Amino acid sequence: MDINQARFNMIEQQLRPARVLVPGVLSLLAEKKREDFVPSAYRHLAFAATAIPLGHGAHMFTPELEARALQALAMRRHEQVLEIGTGSGYMAALLGAHASHVLSYEIEPALADSARTNLEHARIRNVQVVTGDGLAEQPLSDTFHVIMVSGAVADVPESLLDRLKPGGRLFAVTGTRPALEATLIHRVGDRFERVALFETDTDFLRGAEPAPRFVF
């Protein structure tokens, strides 16, 4: 496989048609080597429009979802970022390229270890991976300009919203299947403004699944 051609095709055939048009986002996706964060068995699918399995019931975001999230967050270099759901570490690497520091939580120890290795090999120094449940309540003194929820949640917990700085933005995929929706939440003072961006699909974070429905 011609890696560079596959990367070019991803941008031209997946991202641009999905209205990912911000030059900084497109150039970042062209530069950051997604193939180095994909399990070796799926390296040939690194740029395919599919959610690549990572093991332990987890999958990577599709390239389109990664790019559209970055475009929506419109990050700035000085910002502090919290990510929930490290996965392979690739989303954290993308976030880190546009931020001062990224704190990323991964609940599955094996994935956290793998992500640390991937980030180290990529020489990314401003991402810290913590093994633990990032949705659990944390000290409110730890607040962030940007929160990236790298997985679906039935709804965004209030404890997570409280960790947004004024003017901060949170990206999450919310709802219940088959109608999951990418959502951007902007903190304005003490208010939280929500914008529905687009319909999508991705794995639910562990412990964030919708309550089961009872069928009579």
Per-residue confidence (pLDDT) for residue 213, from 0 to 100:
66
The residue written with tokens 């880190």 in the block is 96
pTM for the whole structure: 0.94
Concatenating the DSSP letter of every residue in 93-115 gives HHHHHTSSEEEEEESSHHHHHHH
pLDDT-based confidence at residue 9 (cuts at 50, 70, 90): very high
Among the four given CATH numbers 3.40.50.150, 2.30.30.60, 3.90.1150.10, 3.40.50.300, the one describing domain 3-199: 3.40.50.150
The one-letter amino acid at 60: M
pLDDT-based confidence at residue 211 (cuts at 50, 70, 90): confident
Q: Residue 95 pLDDT more than 90?
A: yes
For residue range 19-72, what is the model confidence (pLDDT) as tens digits? 999 999 999 999 999 999 999 999 999 999 999 999 999 999 999 999 999 999
Mean pLDDT of 131-150: 87
CA distance 74 to 167: 12
**Structural domain boundaries of the chain?**
3-199
Q: How far is CA 90 from CA 35, 119, 191, 208, in A?
A: 9, 8, 31, 21
